[in-house]
Amino acid sequence: MTALNEDLILPRVQSMLRERFALSEAQVEATHALTELGVDSLAVIEFMFDLETEFDISLSQERADIHTIGDIAALVRATLDKTTTQK
């Protein structure tokens, strides 16, 4: 995913969330909080693992506050940026 357009990150995250947690399109708005969607904290960690695979990044050293789906996309974007800079 080296040439990933920034605008594609959020839709991809939303699509992965829908698939994994059987959520509707309306439920995965960027402003929605995962906890309000009934997603368990351990399931969020599993989801982060999937994100690592999908975007070829490492999130294990990241300690960002993640509340909303938009936060996840932002974290992925920031980590990708960092990775690109380091490369």
Partner 1 sequence: MRRVALTGAGVISPVGTGKSNFFQQISAGISGIRRLQHPDAQRLGLQLAGQIQDFDPSQHFSKERLSTLDRFSQFALVAAHEAWQQAAYPSRFDHSRGGVFVGTGMGGASTLEAGYDALFRQQQNRVRPMSVIATMPNAAAANIGIEFSLRGPCYTYAVACASSSVAIGEAARAIAYGDLDVALAGGAEAMLCLGVLKGWEALMTLAIEDKQAPEQSCKPFAANRCGFVLGEGAGMLVLEDLELAQSRGATILAELVGYGVSNDAVHLSRPEPAGQAAAMRAALKQSQLRGIHLEDIGYINAHGTATKAGDASEVAAICDVFGAHRTALAISSTKAVHGHLMGAAGAIEFIATVLALQAQTLPPTAHLTERDPAFDLDFVPLHARPAPQLRAVMSNSFAFGGANAVLVAAHPDA
Between residues 58 and 84, which has the closer beta carbon with respect to partner 1? Answer: 58
Residues 17-27 as b/e (b if ≥16 CB within 10 A, e otherwise) read: beeebebeeeb
Binding segment toward partner 1, per CB under 8 A, in 9-17, 25-33, 44-52, 62-70: 44-52
Give the binding range for partner 1 (CB under 8 A) out of 8-16, 36-44, 63-71, 75-83.
Answer: 36-44
Query: Residue 36 interacts with partner 1 (CB under 8 A)?
Result: no
Q: Does 16 bind partner 1 (CB under 8 A)?
A: no
Contact at 8 Å (CB) between 13 and 69? yes
List the one residue out of 66, 55, 48 whose CA is nearest residue 12.
55
Contact between 52 and partner 1 by CB under 8 A: the answer reads: yes
Q: Is residue 81 a contact point for partner 1 (CB under 8 A)?
A: no
